[in-house]
Structure 1
C-alpha cells in the first residue's frame, strides 16, 4: 500500500544522526517530553505566548497544524537549543498575504496547483513571535548549522516540501541568517507585532501621557460607551460557560480577516481555560446577560498579551467596542504590574493611537525542491511585501525603523473599528 505523503512518521525521541564534537539533534513529539525546568530556563520569561501551558493547549487544539515537534540540540547531556516546529498537511501560503496579493498569486496557483497549498513545516511559534530557545544568548555557529540541517532533514523525513521560519524579530533571525541563506532560504518582511510599553502608575496616568489628540479620542470613546446604560465591562477569571459565545464572536472577526494562518477552536480555548499557565483573564463586555465583545488576555512575568478578540458587529461601531476592550486590557495590565502588553498583528491605526510601537518581524522560506524553491523565491517575497505595505499603510516607516524608547508618534484619529489584517487580536 502506498503511504500517504502527508502522514507524519512519528518516532518519539528519534535522534537524527550524531555529528562530531558530541552534538546530536533529537526530535521530541510533544511539549510533555521536555522537562518543565529546562523549558522555563530557556523560554522568554515575560512572554505568555511561550508559556509551556500554551504549547500544551496548541497541541490539544485543532487550530491548523496536524502535528507538532521540538528539535533539541544537545552537547553530550546539555541542551544547547530548542526549536518548536509544526506540521501542516496543506498550508495555504496565500493565507499569509491579503486579498489583493492573493489575486496576484492566482496565475501561479493555476500553473502550479500545489505550490501555494503545500505540505509545510513551520518553525518557531504558530501563535507568537519566533525564537530559537538557547541559554546565554544567540546559538553558536555549530549549533546554528546543526539546527538548520536538522530542520531540513526533518522536513524531508516527513515529506514536507515548504519550510518557513515565521515571525522572527531582527535580533532573533540575525544569528541564523547566514546559515539559512547558505541552506537556500530567502527572506521577506512579515507583519510587525504591536507592543505598548507601560510605565504608568494608573490608567489615568497612561491617558494623561498620550498626545493631545489620542487622549481626546480615548476619552470621547469612553464617554460614548458609558452613555450606553445597557453595556458593561467585567474582568473574569472563570469563563468556561461563555466559551461557545466567545467562539462565535471570534468567528465574526475571523470572517472579516484579510489574512489567516491559525483559527482557534473550542478544544484550544478549553485547554487554555483549564490550564494553570499562562495566567489568563477575560475582558468581557456584556449587553444585559449577552457577551458582545471580549479580549482574551494572557500574562507571564511582567509581560501581557491581548491574545484574541471577538466582537458583535451589530453594535461594535456605535459602542466603540474594539477600543473599549483594549483600554480595559491596558488598565488590567497596569493593575497586574506589567511593563508591556502586546496586541499582535492587526489594526495598526488604532494600536498606534494607543501608543504601541511596531516590532519588525521577518519570514525565512525555502522549498526542498530546487525548481519550486526558485518559483517561491521569485513570487512569495513580493506578495508578502505587498501585503505588508497594504496592511501598514501610513505606518510603514514606523514598522521599519527601530522602535523608540517610548510611545512613538501618533497618526490621525482612526475609525472606530478596522478590518483585521491577520489572525486577529
Structure 2
C-alpha cells in the first residue's frame, strides 16, 4: 500500500473518490469536499492510499486555524479538553463522518489501510503542532478508529434518518402507529388549507431571501446570525455545489415565508437547511411540512430510500419514523 498526501481534491478523480465515499454520504462526497476546500479557516490536504494502482482508502485532513462553528470546537464538545490547535480528520461540516475504505477490503487489509489514514493524520498534526481528532463518527467506524488509534471514543450526539419503504407517501405512513398517521394527515391538511403557494427553486435563485429566513431561525434558537452572512454562505454553497440543491419554498402574498433546502445523493435526500419568517406564518405546521413531509414526497419521486435529518430535535424526528445512531469523537494518535 502506498500513502500520499494530495493538496487539491480536484487532482483525485471524482469517480474513484466517490466509489469509497458513497456509503458515507453527502458530506464526504467529492463535490461537497471540493466546495468546502476554499474555506480560509483551515488548511486542507487529502490522505489517499493506493494498492496496485487502485484507490482503496482516503480521508480529508483539516488543520484548523479558526473554527467558526462551536460544534466543531473540540474543547467545547469533548469534556475535559482545553483549547488547542486541532487537525480534523474527515468531514468538517455536516456532522457525519467516517474514514473512507473500499467496501471489498478483507478485514486485515482494511485494518492496514485504516492504519495508514490514522498515521497520515497523526504525522500532519505533529508537523503543524496540532491534535488530531475524528468528529461525528458513526458506531462501527468509531470502534475501528478507536482500536487503530489506541484511544476510547467519546459519545457526542445522535444522527437521525427516516427509512422510506415502498414507493409512495402512503407506504411511509403505513409504517407508523395509527395515532401518528392521524396526526400527520391533520398537519398536512392544515398546511394545504393555509393557502401557501409552493415553489421549487434553485438555491442560486433565492439565496438572499433564504439567508434572511435562515438567520431568523438561528436567532430564534439563541444563535446570533447576520442575514447577509447567511445569504453569502448559501450563495457560496450554490456555486460550490453547481446549484444542485433543491429549495422548497412557501410563499404568502408573493413573498417567501418558509423554505427547506435539500440534496439528492446516493439514494438519500439530505436535508441541509430551513428557515422561516415567523411573523408571516399561518400556524399551519410549516416546519413539519417543509422539513419532513414535502421532502419525503420528493424522495419518493426520485426513488430515494431515506431522508437524512441529522442531529437535534430527535424526539420530533423519531415520532415521524426516524431511526437514530450514535455519533462519536475519536482522538487520533
Sort the TM-score into its range (normalised by shorter chain): 0.7 to 0.9
Matched, 1:354 2:324: no
Question: Which of the residues 226, 230, 239 maps onto 2:192?
Answer: 226
Higher-strand-fraction structure = 2
- Give the 5 Å matches for 1:233-272: 233-236=198-201, 238-257=202-221, 266=231, 268-272=233-237
Render the CA deviation track for 1:403-425: whole Å, top value 9, x for unaligned. Answer: xxxxxxxxxxxxxxxxxxxxxxx
Partner of 1:169: 138
- Larger displacement relative to structure 2 (322-331 or 72-81): 72-81
Q: Distance in 2 between matches of 1:146 and 1:276?
A: 30
1:164-202 alpha-carbon deviations (Å, 9 max, x no partner)? 211111122232221212xxx332112111111111332
- Give the aligned partner of residue 29 of structure 1: 7
1:86 pairs, out of 57, 62, 65, with 62
Measured in 2, the distance between the counterparts of 1:25 and 1:174 equals: 23
Q: Which runs of 5+ in 1 are unaligned?
A: 1-22, 109-114, 369-425
CA distance in 1, matches of 2:160, 2:189: 26
Correspondence for 1:287: 252
Distance 2:71 2:223 in 1: 5
Q: Helix, strand or coil for the counterpart of 1:165?
A: strand
**Do the aligned partners of residues 313 and 214 (structure 1) sit closer, same or farther apart at CA in structure 2, a change above 3 Å counting?**
same
1:297 and 1:93 map into 2 onto residues whose CA distance is 20
User: So what's the TM-score if we normalise by structure 2?
Assistant: 0.84
Confirm or deny: 8 A CA contact 2:28 2:90 kept in the other structure.
Answer: no
Per-residue deviation, 1:289: 2.1
Spell out, residue by residue over 1:359-385, the C-alpha distance to the aligned partner (whole angstroms, 9 max, x if none): 22211136x8xxxxxxxxxxxxxxxxx
Name which of structure 1's ranges 210-219 and 189-198 shifts more when overlaid on structure 2. 210-219
Return the alpha-carbon distance in structure 1 between the equivalents of residues 318 and 247 of structure 2.
23
Structure 1 segment 47-196 matched on structure 2, within 5 A? 47-61=25-39, 65-75=41-51, 77-91=53-67, 95=71, 116-128=82-94, 129-135=96-102, 136-137=104-105, 140-160=110-130, 162-181=131-150, 185-196=151-162
For 2:129, what is the secondary structure of its paired residue? coil
Q: CA deviation at 1:298?
A: 0.7
CA RMSD of aligned residues (A): 3.2
Per-residue deviation, 1:45? 5.6
1:85–1:121 Cα contact (<8 Å) kept = yes
Note the C-alpha offset of 1:29: 1.8
Is the contact between residue 54 and residue 277 of structure 1 (CA under 8 Å) also seen in structure 2? no
Conserved 8 A contact 1:47-1:299: no
- SS of aligned partner of 1:318: coil
Which residue does the alignment assign to 2:329? 363
TM-score by length of 1: 0.67
Q: Which residue of 1 aligns with 2:177?
A: 211
Partners in 2 of 1:103 and 1:343 — Cα distance?
Answer: 20
Counterparts of 1:305-324 in structure 2 under 5 Å?
Answer: 305-315=270-280, 318-324=283-289
How many residue pairs get aligned? The number is: 324
Q: State the structure with more CA Rg.
A: 1
C-alpha displacement of 1:256: 4.4
- Tell me how far apart the structure 2 counterparts of residues 72 and 357 of structure 1 sit (CA, whole Å): 32
Structure 1 position 93, deviation (Å): 9.1
Is the CA contact 2:5–2:45 (under 8 Å) kept in the aligned structure 1? yes
